[in-house]
């Protein structure tokens, strides 16, 4: 049997900015989970669809405005 060579190229000694940022984000996320005990999301409001009807968009009409 012949051994298969790994097709992925690993370049040692070169660290890109994206790799550093990814590692920092991962470490920050893990420390956040450890401190709070669960994952925390920063944004609670989801993107509202333009197609759904929303009464609050138009606002309330007061008797003085009519």
DSSP 56: G
pTM score above 0.75: no
> Which residues does 19 contact at the CB level (< 8 Å), separation at least 6?
none
2-58 confidence digits (pLDDT tens): 666 666 666 677 888 889 899 999 999 999 899 988 888 777 777 778 888 877 777
């Amino acid at each position: 049997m012949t051994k298969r060579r790994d097709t992925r190229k690993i370049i040692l000694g070169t660290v890109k900015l994206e790799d550093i940022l990814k590692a920092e984000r991962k470490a920050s996320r893990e420390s956040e989970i450890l401190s709070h005990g669960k994952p925390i999301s920063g944004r609670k409001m989801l993107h509202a669809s333009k197609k759904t009807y929303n009464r609050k968009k138009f606002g309330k009409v007061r008797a003085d405005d009519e």
